[in-house]
Amino acid sequence: MTIGIIERYYDYLPVTDKTPMLSLGEGNTPLVYAEHLSDALSAHVYLKLEGLNPTGSFKDRGMVMAVAKAKENGADAVICASTGNTSASAAAYAAKAGLNCFVVIPHGYVAAGKLAQAVLYGAKIIPIEGNFDQALEMVKVLGEHYSVEIVNSINPYRLEGQKTAAYEIIEKFGHSPHIVALPVGNAGNISAYWLGFKEAHEHQLCQSVPKMWGFQAEGAAAIVRNRKISNPETFATAIRIGDPASWKLAVKAREESGGIINDVTDDEIREAYYVLAEKEGVFCEPASAAAIAGLYKQAKVGEIPKDSTIVAILTGNGLKDPDSAMQKNSEPFKPIQATEEELVKNIFEVEV
């Protein structure tokens, strides 16, 4: 039987005997050694495959906590603003808990795979003519005046659940890595990992803590530029956020860990996205690849210590955004005649 994170990390989470042991089997995701990346960066690089959570993203760790606590507190409904992954996760756990779910999304900016999940799980989808930041502001207003529980990362239980990934990394290694690299959108995840590593250190589960390296998309790099971006744009839609909700916590994580928050271009993200698939056999969504793009960028300026241990957090599954994957083909597929001659010709590029 699979044990979810609430039961597994009960002693480290803000739960009570009244908290439902809600679970879809989240957590315990693989930590895979990346041979190609390790050689390229002269380091030991591991990939934390958070896309193998139940709804295909890291959001499940935090959402199970947020929804369980909402259920414990007597809520009938949850609500979130989302660029996709949050909506899928909220809808799934709400369904499991028997709660209604309302999702506010920026129209035209949510990948099909993510939207399909929320629809099938039974959430009510409300598209707005605006971006994620505007959607979140509307959700905050509703949360203040109506009986719905907000389950975005402004909900503190979200970060509590997400911090469990740090505990898992320590369990796998027996210690902390030197660096943890991850994409930064709404900035909750970098904040949650840092919370987890700090707590694990306090509980004497590790003797040191890693540097937190966060990477934003250049067109949505509010923290890097130290200003809100009113019209964020990026190929990596999951981190297309111009006013991160956990901004201050992310800066605190950077400062306390001696880490960085940098930006990467869409071209750098796209290149890393292809490298992961072609060289490591890992299909992640574009936003996840921002972590790898960032590592390449830091390597170019000599910032990666030789033989250091690095964990890159791949936050979502590639099937979340199939349209981005298909952009790799410059021309549509064309069928050939079903003959041996045509097949040999097309595979080996020789006449038979």
> 254 vs 349, which has greater pLDDT?
254
206 φ/ψ angles, rounded to the nearest 5 degrees: -150, 160
105 HSE (CA, 13 A, CB side): 28
What pLDDT does 150 receive?
96
Binned at pLDDT 50, 70 and 90, residue 330 comes out as confident
Q: What is the dihedral of CA 119, 124, 126, 127, to 10 degrees?
A: 0
Mean pLDDT value of segment 82-99? 94
Q: Quick check: 65 pLDDT over 80? A: yes
Single-letter amino acid, residue 173? F
Residue tagged 């909402």 (tokens): 70
100-110 per-position pLDDT tens digit: 999 999 888 77
CA dist 30 and 166 (Å) reads: 13
H or E element that contains 6: helix 5-8
Percent of the chain with pLDDT over 70: 99
201, with CB counted inside 10 A (0-12, 13-18, 19+), is middle
Mean pLDDT of the chain: 95
Mean pLDDT value of segment 33-45? 98
Mean pLDDT value of segment 142-153? 92
CA-CA-CA-CA torsion sign (192, 274, 326, 229): positive
Residue 137 corresponds to which tokens in the numbers above? 């502001």
Q: Please name which of 348, 154, 180 lies closest in space to residue 254, comparing C-alpha atoms.
A: 180
285 HSE (CA, 13 A, CB side): 29
Binned at pLDDT 50, 70 and 90, residue 2 comes out as confident
E strand segments, the chain: 31-33, 44-49, 77-81, 100-106, 124-128, 149-150, 179-183, 211-217, 260-264, 309-314
CA dist 92 and 63 (Å) reads: 9
CA dist 162 and 59 (Å) reads: 7
Q: Quick check: 329 pLDDT over 90? A: no
Question: Quick check: 117 and 91 in contact, CB under 8 A?
Answer: yes
208-256 per-position pLDDT tens digit: 999 999 999 999 999 999 999 999 999 999 999 999 999 999 999 999 9
216, with CB counted inside 10 A (0-12, 13-18, 19+), is buried
Residue 351: partners with Cβ closer than 8 Å, 6 or more residues away: 345
3-state helix, strand, coil in the chain (%, to 5): 45, 15, 35
Residue tagged 């709660």 (tokens): 99
Q: Quick check: 264 pLDDT over 70? A: yes
265-305 per-position pLDDT tens digit: 999 999 999 999 999 999 999 999 999 999 999 999 999 99
CA dist 216 and 144 (Å) reads: 30
Residue 106: partners with Cβ closer than 8 Å, 6 or more residues away: 83, 127, 128, 130, 131, 132, 134, 135
What pLDDT does 332 receive?
81
Local structure of 128: helix, strand or coil: strand
CA dist 83 and 135 (Å) reads: 10
What pLDDT does 352 receive?
61
Residue 349 burial (CB count, 10 A):
7
CA dist 68 and 13 (Å) reads: 12
Residue 67 corresponds to which tokens in the numbers above? 């929804």
